[in-house]
Every structure is written in structure tokens, then in C-alpha cells.
Amino acid sequence: MTLLPVVDPADATDAQRAVLAEWCADRAVAQMPASLWRMLAANPESMRAVGKLGAHVRVGLTIDLVLKTVVAAVASRQRGYSYEIGIQDARLSAGGIDPAHVHATAAGDEAAGLPAGVAAAARLAADMAGGVRPRTADVAILREMLGDAGFVQLLVSAGYFLMLGDIAGVLQPAE
């Protein structure tokens, strides 16, 4: 059971319809957003702020897609956000990365055999989710791969998916 009603565009206020349309335009999609976003439309300005960050993370980042997907998958799994876990794990598989190895690495299994950058990204997202400072070696690997600007993009991406998972955990609690 959700904690807020899912806004139906047919019954929405003008401001809610506008922010839902803006969400679609920012992502260049025609499909109405999932129920989580339509719950956030209860406050169009807050939805807009989160949505703009999400559009930046989903379509505006220039970093390596595999690394971006790794942090999204790990952050979503750490927060139990099943909707996003399925999407990100499928993207990892399509990119030739075994999601089980990514999640095992995030959980501390150093024998998963992932490339150094992928493993570092998985551990970074897990560390962020756990509220601990990332390992110096992982930061060094990722900064060398991505540069400082790219490293910031990776941090923002992980933080976005952690935030989204936290919001979903409140608004769409597991039954």
C-alpha cells in the first residue's frame, strides 16, 4: 500500500499536469512516469527539483555508462528499491557484466573477478549507502579513470539512486 495517492493526470491540477509533462520532456519520453513520481507530484515543485536531478543523472551525464549503471544498481539494491534493481541489473547484463558479481563485490567479496574500475564503483556506492568514507584506493582508481569532474558525476549518480530508494522506501513500503 502506498502512503500517498498516485496522481492521475486526468484528475491532476494544472501544476501537477505541467510537472508530469516536464518530467517526460526532460527524458524525451512519451510514457507517463511510474507511480513513485506520480506520488511526488503531490508537490509539483519538489517533484520538479528531484526530477531535474534525475534527468541529469539518467540522460545528462557523460561518464562511462557501465560505471554509472554499477552505482545505480548497487545503490538501488542497498535501499531495496526493487523497481530500479530490475532495470539496472538488466542493463548490467546487457553490458556483459554479471549483476551477481557486482552485488557480491559491493558486499565485500573481493573474489568476484570484476575489472578494477567496476569493482571500485560497486564498493563506492556500497560505502556511500553505508554512510562510510569510501576506500582511498577506490577513489584513486575512479578519479584516474574519470577525472575529477567525472568522479563528481559518479558520486551524484550514486547519491541520486540512494535518495530515490529512500523516498520509495517510505512511499512504497514492502508489503
What one-letter code names the amino acid at 58? Answer: R
Q: Dihedral, CA atoms, 128, 130, 131, 134, nearest 10 degrees?
A: -50
Confidence of residue 80 (pLDDT cuts 50, 70, 90): very high
Rounded CA separation 153/134 (Å) = 15
User: Cell for 167?
Assistant: 523516498
Provide the pLDDT for residue 110: 81
Provide the pLDDT for residue 174: 66
pTM > 0.85 = yes
* Chain segment 104-149, per-residue pLDDT in tens: 999 998 877 899 999 999 999 999 999 999 999 999 999 999 999 9
Cα torsion angle, 99, 150, 133, 174, sign: negative
SS3 state at 28: coil
Q: What percent of the chain has pLDDT over 90?
A: 91
CB contact at 8 A, 103 and 128:
no
* Chain segment 11-33, per-residue pLDDT in tens: 999 999 999 999 999 999 999 89
SS3 state at 76: helix
pLDDT exceeds cutoff 90 at 162:
yes
User: Cell for 55?
Assistant: 534527468
Provide the pLDDT for residue 113: 85
Rounded CA separation 42/67 (Å) = 33
Q: Which residues of 46-78 are buried (b: 16+ CB within 10 A; e: fewer)?
A: ebbebbebbbebeeebebbebbbbbbbbbbbbb
